[in-house]
Structure 1
């Protein structure tokens, strides 16, 4: 379960950036194509935050839908998997959204 190491890294980064302050809220962006399970991150986050400046913080997860650009016709299309076919028939797609995993913001007190 790679979500445990991801959650651990998020907690570590947030605690480090808080410079001793308590972290009240963390907002993560998780792309639907990132192969990261939001519910697993949510569970692991609380476990990893125990006894840190992040303990008790609210975790908000924003799921970013997958999108691709057709390299043949330039159209943008929604994708649920990292491949697909454009309405023009081309399968030559460039993923442009949905792969990210990033800390969008953090609130401290």
Structure 2
């Protein structure tokens, strides 16, 4: 389950920012997770709750912002919405679609006390 290592990475970011900016409590973490990222949000939520115990983010609310998938079709030269990697272009039906959005995961912001 790669969500556990991702949760550990998010906690590391939170702790680094807390140390740099001098706060001792995080009440919420907002993550952007793309639909094409191969990350299971509920598994990440479970892992996050486990790894933050005893840290500055203990008890913090995890907010997940879902980002839709997008791609550039090489055949029809259009930016199109895609629901999964390797989906065909909804415009022309071709399979030469390069993902351009929805593959990311990033910490958007923190709520601190």
Give your verdict on TM over 0.5: yes
Contact kept, 8 Å, 1:15 with 1:23, in 2: the verdict is no
* Pairing 1:32–2:35 present: yes
How many aligned positions are there? 109
In 1, distance between residues paired with 2:31 and 2:65? 6
Aligned residue for 2:100, secondary structure, equals strand
1:104 aligned residue: 108
TM-score, scaled relative to structure 1: 0.91
In 2, distance between residues paired with 1:100 and 1:5? 15
In 2, distance between residues paired with 1:89 and 1:27? 35
In 1, distance between residues paired with 2:63 and 2:103? 18
In 2, distance between residues paired with 1:25 and 1:62? 13
How does 1:1-109 map onto structure 2 within 5 Å? 1-19=1-19, 20-86=23-89, 87-109=91-113
Contiguous gaps of at least 5 residues in structure 2: none
After the TM superposition, which segments of 4 or more aligned residues of structure 1 sit over 4 Å from their partners?
none
TM-score, scaled relative to structure 2: 0.88
Calculate the aligned-residue CA RMSD, in Å: 1.3
Contiguous gaps of at least 5 residues in structure 1: none
Aligned residue for 2:56, secondary structure, equals coil
In 2, distance between residues paired with 1:5 and 1:78? 29
